[in-house]
Structure 1
Amino acid sequence: MTTGTVHTDKAAHWPQVHEARNPGMALDMDWVRAARANRSAIERRAGTLPGRRSVKKDYQAAWLARAVSCIDLTTLAGDDTPGRVARLCAKARQPVRADLLEALGLTGLTVGAVCVYHDMIEPAVKALEGSGIPVAAVSTGFPAGLSPFHLRVAEIEESVKAGAQEIDIVISRRLVLRGDWQGLYQEMCAFRAACGEAHVKAILATGELGTLQNVARASLVCMMAGADFIKTSTGKESVNATLPVSLVMMRAIREYHDRTGYRVGYKPAGGISKAKDSLVYLSMIKEELGDRWLRPDLFRFGASSLLGDIERQLEHHVTGAYSASWRHAIG
């Protein structure tokens, strides 16, 4: 990645523009049962990344700009209001101060999407009109996913009707914990069908799945059921995105692509708040999945505060001085 013009084709946000959308497949229990995760090897590999990969100067600025384009700018607070969402959407349209973008030679930079609760879809759609930035809605009884099944399906349908172009669903963790892979597959198939043309991100809530092996198997089952993205966390668990979990999920995505030819996106969420962390995730994506996944149609950060720190780092690159965080509010 190098500095220069950022392509502003908003269709680039949509996987089916570049790729045939993952249609899913029949549940392959032999494949699922064969999935393993060597924790010690995974943790050793993940532990090498933060200190081993580093980019500096113009290259770092370019990678940080790419990270901005892959952010799902998120507000999932109980006190969200249409005004707050409108401010967030304004930040989504102009995520980095215009003077910094001019100094960097960048134009047309936006975030990947804006993610909100169902009740905030309408003001988000209105605020983003004409921008090409999709609205993502969390659904299916987010974050616990314990509401009645028919209501979870109906919630997806209502969010799509309200204008959400992406739906972040939560799986039933109990299905994973008791090894009910058929139940998880059927649930995910129903959620995918309810989404229609809207893209579905399957939130695994990896911090609550017990083992990395469960993470690997749940990742495969959700992709077999037609998930467009697999996502680590709701951001509400005590343990959210981690490098070992990300490595397991990325390798499941790679294996699925190798076997089926379909690319599935990846979204780490929760606890990613520093620019340096975003660089580690981008380098992991590059090494494990390749450059094709370094675009917003196949990679997203679920974040709210990350953007502010990236903007601070970009200002430091331009001016040589760090500014106060309050100069880079996210909304």
Structure 2
Amino acid sequence: MKGKAQPAEADVTDLPQIPIRKSVEAPPLKNEVAPAPANTPAHTGHGIARNPGMKLDIGFVESMRNVNRSALERRVQTMAKRRSIKGDNQAAWLLRALAVMDLTSLNSNDTDERIRRLCAKALQPLRRDISIGLGLGSTPVRPAAVCVYHPFVATAAQALKGSGIHVAAVSTAFPHGLAPLDTRLKEIEASVNDGADEIDVVIKRGLVYEAKWQELYDEIAAMRAACGNAHLKVILGTGDLATLRNVTLASMVAMMAGADFIKTSTGKESVNATLPVGLAMVRAIRAYFEETGYMIGFKPAGGISTAKAALDWLVLIKEELGRPWLEPELLRFGASSLLTDIERQLEHHVTGHYSANHRHALA
């Protein structure tokens, strides 16, 4: 009698490994930069050719209308079951999750000192004994960015100066996006002037419900122009959009308007990032890439608080978009408590013991 089939062990070449292992690079794609090891410091600039956008093509948008929710849900249910990531492989994948993280603090009680402490954590996210145990040497693994409200952009920029860690600001009347457009654009410009080189904007969800695609396109295009050289991440607020069809169509319009990233949620909705929503968005990214040759980034945010959840998202991206999208230029996790659990899991990998959360404080 045959035994029950076991999930496949993740290939050790799926990701750059802890330094004791040799990595294998994937073949290059159009506009792709050479992948960097997981323990390489964050780049001082974004290495992917920016999406210039395109004229709103309603025909192309409408061609994406047919979204099979049942098929998407079945697909995400099989992903984790078919991949078993253990041992050194798991440690390497968790280091990759850390390297693509936007370490975030978006609380009503944020202060300048709290943000400085958050930035200090970003500069040294792993305790020294864990880094030594993993064999990382003197090269740090750091989050890709620190994400804050506009009033704290200058504080974060000063604290992170010269580190290569990006400063991201949530702008445009976050989280609802219902201020006048002129006010939202001025907030973007103010954040850029204070030192933000990434801007996370929110759309007016009502424009999606009413299928006002031209108005949505025009607003996002204006936001892209206000960003200047700063990269634009467009938050769809997927928990408010009700259907995967709305999510897909809004994703396409955002990319056509020049988004560098599309992002699931603000983290303030009742439902935030879910794998079926993520799958719908990454397939829209793939369709846009096949049409234009431009690689658009993806940022799931909200509710990703465990190392296991981060691994599920990495598997989804690896299988649907391929190895090039596992770089910080094309993938981000919007998270805060996620870093705590990743650090705990890495300590367990080194010592065989779990520690309490308070030993890995963020700020």
> What is the TM-score when the length of structure 1 is the normalising length?
0.97
| 2:265 aligned counterpart, secondary structure | coil
> Is the aligned partner of 1:43 residue 2:55?
no
Give the structure 2 partner of residue 25 of structure 1: 54
Aligned residue type for 1:271: G
Question: Among residues 156, 163, 169, which one is paired with 2:195 in the alignment?
Answer: 163
CA drift at 1:130: 1.5
> Is the aligned partner of 1:213 residue 2:245?
yes
Aligned residue type for 2:130: L
Give the structure 2 partner of residue 295 of structure 1: 327
Work out whether residues 141 and 147 of structure 1, in 8 Å CA contact, stay in contact via their aligned partners in 2.
yes
CA drift at 1:9: 4.7
Question: Among residues 73, 85, 92, which one is paired with 2:115 in the alignment?
Answer: 85
Distance in 1 of aligned mates of 2:96 and 2:291: 29
Deviations 1:76-109 (A, max 9, x none): 0111111100000001011111111111112321
Distance in 2 of aligned mates of 1:9 and 1:330: 20
**Moved beyond 4 Å, runs of 4+:** none
Mapping 1:194-213, distance limit 5 Å:
194-213=226-245
| 2:103 aligned counterpart, secondary structure | strand
| 2:126 aligned counterpart, secondary structure | coil
Question: Among residues 109, 123, 136, which one is paired with 2:141 in the alignment?
Answer: 109
Work out whether residues 177 and 210 of structure 1, in 8 Å CA contact, stay in contact via their aligned partners in 2.
no
Give the structure 2 partner of residue 69 of structure 1: 99
Aligned residue type for 1:110: R
Give the structure 2 partner of residue 310 of structure 1: 342
Deviations 1:184-226 (A, max 9, x none): 1001100000000000000000011121011001000000000
Work out whether residues 188 and 222 of structure 1, in 8 Å CA contact, stay in contact via their aligned partners in 2.
yes
Aligned residue type for 2:210: R
> Is the aligned partner of 1:173 residue 2:205?
yes
Distance in 2 of aligned mates of 1:37 and 1:169: 25
Distance in 2 of aligned mates of 1:54 and 1:144: 39
Work out whether residues 170 and 204 of structure 1, in 8 Å CA contact, stay in contact via their aligned partners in 2.
yes
> Is the aligned partner of 1:267 residue 2:296?
no
Work out whether residues 80 and 315 of structure 2, in 8 Å CA contact, stay in contact via their aligned partners in 1.
no
Deviations 1:111-135 (A, max 9, x none): 0100000000111111111111110
Aligned residue type for 1:288: E
Aligned residue type for 1:45: R
Aligned residue type for 2:98: V
Mapping 1:214-253, distance limit 5 Å:
214-253=246-285
| 2:133 aligned counterpart, secondary structure | helix
| 2:84 aligned counterpart, secondary structure | coil
Distance in 2 of aligned mates of 1:265 and 1:193: 18
| 1:202 aligned counterpart, secondary structure | strand
Greater Rg over alpha carbons, structure = 2
Work out whether residues 232 and 246 of structure 1, in 8 Å CA contact, stay in contact via their aligned partners in 2.
yes
| 1:286 aligned counterpart, secondary structure | helix
Work out whether residues 212 and 245 of structure 1, in 8 Å CA contact, stay in contact via their aligned partners in 2.
yes
Q: What's the % identity of the aligned pairs?
A: 60
Give the structure 2 partner of residue 136 of structure 1: 168
Work out whether residues 53 and 280 of structure 1, in 8 Å CA contact, stay in contact via their aligned partners in 2.
no
Aligned residue type for 2:178: L
> What is the TM-score when the length of structure 2 is the normalising length?
0.89
Give the structure 1 partner of residue 124 of structure 2: 94
Distance in 1 of aligned mates of 2:80 and 2:273: 15
> Is the aligned partner of 1:322 residue 2:354?
yes
What is the RMSD of the two structures over their aligned residues, measured on CA atoms? 1.1
CA drift at 1:330: 1.6
| 2:172 aligned counterpart, secondary structure | coil
* Equivalent residue pairs, number: 328
Structure 1 stretch displaced more, 86-95 or 49-58:
49-58
Work out whether residues 46 and 244 of structure 1, in 8 Å CA contact, stay in contact via their aligned partners in 2.
yes
Structure 1 stretch displaced more, 280-289 or 99-108:
99-108
| 1:10 aligned counterpart, secondary structure | coil
